[in-house]
Amino acid sequence: MKEFCIDRVGYVYRRNGGDVQALDGVTGTIAAGEFVALVGPSGCGKSTLLRLAAGLLAPTSGRLVWRGEVKAPRTAMVFQDAGLFPWLTVRDNVALALESGRLSREERAARVTERLAQTGLLAAAEALPGELSGGQRQRVGIARALVTAPDLLLLDEPFSALDAQTRRVLEEELIRYWLTLRPATLYVTHNLTEAVRLADRVWIMTGAPGRLIDEQRTDIPRAERYTAAAGPAIAAVTEQIWARIREGHR
């Protein structure tokens, strides 16, 4: 058993006009196989927390650690804009995530092909990102993250720039891929319904400085989450989260 622990983490942005405390004493754990969504108002520090988890920033206070049976944890991240290199083909963009590993060229190619096939991108493997739709680009971003079989998967509002239909399609696809690997996952979103449908738990943040104020479990069976029958249950949990965010605002 292993889990990713965020232990009293604080972060201060140093700026010329004075320091800005972005996060203060954020504490939480995500176990392997658990999907946690992070919601809260704009500027509350959700993305900062994600960047800290990814190692893109170093915490000003507190620590981020793995506990349990884990030697060299792999972290993968899906960016809001997919973060693809426009001159690399879809295949090369996905393969890039395996560059630092010890896999042979053949093994790498096989894993990339397998992941492209899983995400329905095999036909577009030699295309450039500029030739793809926004949804497909984001699919490449997800394929790149999953090809590493990560221990920690971080997603920073991956579907926020997409239209509602594509969002919903990708949401369902994401959870299908996720179920095959089940990494510990932290998913930042503004969309509460999306958070409830995807996550096992929803962390609720408040801003200035960013703190975790509550956690909401979404005890709706996964198999039912994308059915009409689950609509009222999802709406009820969404309302509870929204009420908590509103309280935090006051």
Partner 1 sequence: MTGGVTDKVERRERAMTEEVAVRVHPPTATREPGRRHVVCGIGGVLLLWECAVRFGGVNATDCPAPSMIVLELARLGATGVLWPALAASGMRWLTGMLTGCGLGVLLAVAAGRYRLLGGLTVPWVHLLYPVPKIALLPLFVLWLGIGELPKFVIIALGAFFPVFINTRHGMSRLPRRYDEVVAVYPVGTRYYVRRILLPAVYPSVFAGLKLAAGSALVLLVAAEMLAADTGIGALILQYGDLMLTASLLACVTVLAAAGLAIQYLIGCWERAVVRWR
Which of residues 86, 126, 176, 179 is near partner 1 by CB under 8 A?
A: 86
Q: Does 90 bind partner 1 (CB under 8 A)?
A: no
Q: Which among 7, 21, 6 is positioned nearest to 209, based on CA atoms?
A: 21
The letter for the amino acid at 66 is W
> For partner 1, which is the closer residue by CB, 37 or 97?
97
Sheet of 2-13, strands arranged across? 20-31, 2-13, 61-68
> For partner 1, which is the closer residue by CB, 48 or 75?
75
Cα(174)–Cα(177) distance, integer angstroms: 5
Rg of the chain, C-alpha, whole Å: 18
Q: Does 56 bind partner 1 (CB under 8 A)?
A: yes
Which of residues 30, 32, 97, 121 is near partner 1 by CB under 8 A?
A: 97
Burial label for 111, CB within 10 Å (0-12, 13-18, 19+), is: buried
Q: Which residues pair with 20 in a beta bridge?
A: 13
Residues between 118 and 137 with contacts to partner 1, criterion CB under 8 A = 128-130
Which of residues 55, 68, 120, 231 is near partner 1 by CB under 8 A?
A: 55
Query: Shortest distance, CB of residue 158 to partner 1, whole angstroms?
Result: 14
Query: Shortest distance, CB of residue 221 to partner 1, whole angstroms?
Result: 33
Residues between 223 and 242 with contacts to partner 1, criterion CB under 8 A = none
**How many CB atoms are closer than 10 A to CB 195?**
26
Q: Using an 8 Å Cβ cutoff, are 143 and 124 in contact? A: no
Stretch touching partner 1 by CB under 8 A, among 37-45, 74-82, 108-116, 228-236: 74-82
Q: Does 43 bind partner 1 (CB under 8 A)?
A: no
> For partner 1, which is the closer residue by CB, 75 or 218?
75
Q: Does 161 bind partner 1 (CB under 8 A)?
A: no
Cα(30)–Cα(34) distance, integer angstroms: 6
Cα(78)–Cα(150) distance, integer angstroms: 12
Cα(2)–Cα(31) distance, integer angstroms: 6
Stretch touching partner 1 by CB under 8 A, among 90-98, 103-111, 208-216, 217-225: 90-98
Residues that bind partner 1 (CB under 8 A): 54-56, 75-77, 79, 81, 83, 85-88, 92, 96-97, 99-100, 128-130, 144, 148
